[in-house]
Amino acid sequence: MSVSIEGEQGFAGRRNFLLGFFAVLGIVLLVRAFWLQGLHQEFYAEQGDVRQIRTLPIAAHRGTMLDRNHEPLAVSSPIQSIWSDPRILLQHSEQFELLGYILQIDPGRLRERVQSAADNGKGFVYLRRHVPPRIAAALQKARERQQIKGVSVQREYGRYYPSAEITAHLLGFTDIDGNGQEGLEMTFNDWLDSRAGSRRVVTDLLGEAIEDIELISEPDQGGDLVLSIDKRIQYLAYRELQQAVIQNGAVSGSVVVLDARSGEVLAMVNHPSYNPNQFSQRGDAAAMRNRAVTDVLEPGSTIKPFTIAAALELGILQSDDVIDTSPGRFNVGKYVVRDFTDYGTLSLTDILKKSSNIGASKIALQMDRTQLWNVFDRLGFGRPSVMEFPGAVAGSMPHASSWSVVRQATVSYGYGISTTVLHLAQAYAAIASDGLMPEISFQRLDGEPETQRVFSAAVARQVRGMMESVVASGTGKKAAIPGYTVAGKTGTTHISEGGSYADDRYISQFAGMSPATDPDMIAIVVINEPRGRYFGGEVAAPVFARIVAGALRIRNIKPDVHRAENGATNKVLSQ
């Protein structure tokens, strides 16, 4: 009986102890809960938000660049970037070897970058941006297998150029943040540029966004831009130029094609080129040079039509005047101007057909040097283009006050003056467009172009007719296009080096327009340092013919040979 009473007393004691223990534990928990949620609620809520709430960017795409027919030339494509909360990633430091292998980054450098971000209190750090699809896929597999934790994928936009090297010099490229670095990407950066938005999200313990809280700012998409370029003509020009440079063993080449009336650039290409989609190719300075706007050259005989036009415009000569070029040598001070042979007495048309340096010099010397300079100045030689293009240069044309009689003579046939391929094309528009020189435009124009009158319409047509003879029966025969009249001028210049001219290094040029009776387009072809053949009529003229023939068909320009053969047109052009 006594044993039973003692057992009940022991049980009651243990029960009371346990009840008392749980009562004290409950009181401790209540006090702790009051401590956390009452006295320090704001602090711990803030700490929870720091660990779980993130502000993430919302990607915005850069504006698309389109050709004149709305074909895409530069687009922004969705691409993945890899990021992490550095504090979370450092809790899984054993991952750095595998993560570095997948992202193709040295694990030690990756750890240093993450540690630096954590030390600076950052909750967001890019591990690698704009990763190729194969790397994104490999990372995704590792995440699914729980081999990689605390790493997230974010969508951004990367710039892509469908035509690659064909439009590289024209369009340029952007950096990884989408800012224009070269070409039209840089020129029109303010218009094309976008601004990312931002959102606040809740993340899990691994840093993955699991819930949107609020939209902080909307993304601002970039504006689209319609260019003057015709993608088909651009491709045609690049193909023919590339082939010509390779076949002639040349160092480089450039082609510019303009709308003769509006000054719109239909194509601008250079070779060698580079692929702007490959970051590794963006360091080749020689391939990246847009030689059509950054390199100057002496225009040589392609300047002669302007010398004759100046004399006609000033009334110093008439279209039926003749110049005696015998005996093939002409002394100007201590300098001797030479022709290829003794051409005897030449008409103005024959001076262009034969490309007589003596004829051009004698015409120039009949003018006051300031008169000739004024005409060339109106054509824009030596002046920067109104159109801003990265790296574009102005060329050189000293003021007439510094001209000697020798300089006055040599300028008339393209020595002692320098220009770019693009600017030479603009100057030729003054002849193609009946004396009105338009401003250069890389955007498609919907209204009338801005123009400046350089020559009267009558003078421009007379000179155009003379240039047509250059192609019909002169030095530019290989520029002829079946079914179309062509007006043009060949040019072959020695390359200047060390203050003199190299005997065996040349620049081959052809400048022309078609149809000659009512020009639709102008094309300038320049081939630098061809091997073997080097005359402009042999090297550059055939390239012109192939490019312009294709471009005329692309633009649906009707053949005009029947108009040139009916007598009336020929009579007007030969006045």
**Active-site residue set:** 301
Report the alpha-carbon distance of residue 346 to residue 486 in Å, rounded. Answer: 22
C-beta of residue 489 within 8 angstroms of C-beta of residue 302: yes
Cβ-based neighbour number of residue 101 at 10 Å = 13
CA-wise closest residue to 292 among 465, 509, 452: 509
Count of residues for the chain? 575
Question: Mind giving me the DSSP string for 401-459?
Answer: GG--HHHHHHHTTTSS-BB-HHHHHHHHHHHHTTTEEEPPBSB--SSPPPEEE-S-HHH
Q: 225-226 and 65-66 as β-strands: parallel, antiparallel, unpaired?
A: parallel
- Report the C-alpha dihedral over residues 407, 412, 417, 419, rounded to 10 degrees: 180
| 3-state secondary structure (DSSP) of residue 481 | strand
Q: Cα–Cα distance between 569 and 45 in angstroms, integer? A: 89
Phi and psi based region of residue 473 (left: phi greater than 0; alpha: psi -120 to 50; beta: remaining): alpha
Angle at alpha carbon of residue 514, lines to 475 and 537, rounded to 5°: 20
What is the spatial distance between Cα 274 and Cα 270, in angstroms, rounded to a whole number?
A: 10
Cβ burial, residue 443 (10 Å; 0-12/13-18/19+)? middle
3-state helix, strand, coil split of the chain in percent (to 5) is 45, 25, 35
Per-residue CA distances from 313 to 306, 310, 372, 461 (Å): 10, 5, 11, 12
CA angle 471, 475, 476 (to 5 degrees): 35
Q: Say how many Å lie between the first and final Cα of the chain, rounded.
A: 149
